[in-house]
Amino acid sequence: MKILIIVRSMCHGGAEKQVVVDANTLQKNGHKVTIAYHKNGSLLTLLNKDVDLYKVKTKNIFIASCILFRHLIKSKYDVILAHMFWAEKVASIPSKLTGHKLILVEHGLGLWRKWYHILIMKFIASLADKVLCTCESTLRIRIEKEGLNSKKLSILYNSFELTESTGIEMTQEIKQRDYFTIGYVGRFNKIKRIKTFIEIAKKLRKNIEKFKIILVGDGEEKKRIEEEISRNHFNEYFSLTGFVLSPSQYYQSFDIFILPSKREAFSVALLEASASGIPCLAFDTGGNAEIIQDAKTGFILPDYNINQMVNKILLLYENPAIRKQMGIEAKRFVTERFSVERRISLFEKLLNEA
């Protein structure tokens, strides 16, 4: 099968990482895959060399659609996969005019969308053959808030692929010093609420003598978080690594993983942490409760209840045996339910049905 995957950016992000995993695995399974994208990024280096690339040199929706239309006339595909809103807008009309099958892949909850975004989404969905949602919450919002045709909707959970990384001496140093290590991997933006870790540190220093909070990632909020850490004189408790292409060894150094997001659909980082055998803590939003089995593989907490989160952190700190067992259960659960092989098998079935 000849497949075109469209995504705006190849920079770091959960949806973009999923595009890379999908492209590599579909190519490995014998399909011919091309990725059309606008913005260059470090994730391009993770792609299989046999995956073709087609760069759209503008982010303007109208011009990008015209460019794609011309490409589709010259290159016939069996199916087009459009990931997220920019790609969906760019792909919808050209794919219809050229007679291509179109599948939309909705990664986020879309709660930011205003009434006119919803009207655009309904129009785009009407042109598509199928709309894939990454979790139950995403599917429910598409039906209840946006009024999409439920017959076109299916759930296709995100998956994970942990790649080896080397040369990270800092993580080894932390383990040698016997810190209790709390980890985060992801973007630094307001939705992720990274400031939560500063509030956690204020409470933990009264109860834990040696702990370290490792924040792996980058974004517009990083400088502000660094300033907040310095203002509170918390530099000894924090390590900010910046963006890391393959964070596997960081996961291996964490004792627990925390995802403090205000909104989250189906977090790839939460999957990766669980697959690394780490108990995860997250607030009850989006698809978090579909990844974490509360009190079995980690903890799901009422939204922004930091006191409850700190209590669970202390429980895991004081009970290494519970922490270890939760990590074992977490790895088993996500490996069985959200493996790449399972996702791609379902993906291929849906592609054939579209």
* Residue 172 CB partners (closer than 8 Å, separation 6+): 253
Mark whether 327 and 347 lie in a shared domain. Answer: no
Same domain? For 146 and 212 the reply is no
Domain count of the chain? Answer: 2
Domain match, 10 and 151 both: yes
Indicate if the pLDDT at residue 173 is higher than 90: no
- Does residue 278 belong to any structural domain of this protein? yes
Spatial CB neighbours of 302, under 8 Å, sequence gap ≥ 6? 283, 284, 308
Give the model's pLDDT for residue 13.
86
pLDDT digits (tens, 9 = 90+) for 115-138: 999 999 999 999 999 999 999 999
- pTM as predicted: 0.90
pLDDT, tens digit, 9 for 90 and up, residues 291-310: 999 999 999 999 999 999 99
Q: Tell me the angle at which helices 268-275 and 14-28 cross, rounded to the nearest 10 degrees.
A: 70
Question: What's the mean pLDDT in 216-230?
Answer: 96
Q: Where does the pLDDT of residue 171 fall: very low under 50, low under 70, confident under 90, or very high at 90 and above?
A: low
| Pair (147, 26) in one structural domain | yes
Confidence of residue 177 (pLDDT cuts 50, 70, 90): low
**Is pLDDT of 188 > 50?**
yes
Work out the pLDDT band at 170, boundaries 50, 70, 90. very low
Mean pLDDT calculated for residue range 322-348:
94
> How many angstroms separate the CA atoms of 85 and 119, rounded?
13
Q: What is the pLDDT of residue 12?
A: 83
Same domain, 85 and 109: yes
**Can you say whether the dihedral through the CA atoms of 336, 172, 245, 228 is positive or negative?**
positive
Are residue 55 and residue 175 in the same domain, yes or no? Answer: no
* CATH number of 195's domain: 3.40.50.2000
* Contact yes or no for 284/261 (Cβ under 8 A): no
Provide the mean pLDDT of the chain. Answer: 93
Percent of the chain predicted with pLDDT > 90: 88
**What average pLDDT does range 24-31 have in this prediction?**
95
Instruction: State pLDDT tens for residues 90-116.
Output: 999 999 999 999 999 999 999 899 999
Residue 164 lies in a domain: no
164 pLDDT exceeds 60?
A: no
198 plus 250 within the same structural domain: yes
> Which structural domain, as residue segments, surrounds residue 298?
169-337
- C-alpha atoms less than 13 angstroms from C-alpha of 201 in its C-beta half-sphere: 26
**Is residue 346 located within the same domain as residue 303?**
no
238 plus 267 within the same structural domain: yes
In this structure, are 330 and 345 located in the same domain? no
Q: What is the pLDDT of residue 248?
A: 87
State the average pLDDT over residues 135-150.
94
Q: Which amino acid is at 108?
A: G
Which pLDDT belongs to residue 222? 96
Q: How confident is the model at residue 139 (pLDDT cuts 50, 70, 90)?
A: very high
Flag whether 85 is in a domain. yes
Same domain, 149 and 177: no
226 in the same domain as 95: no
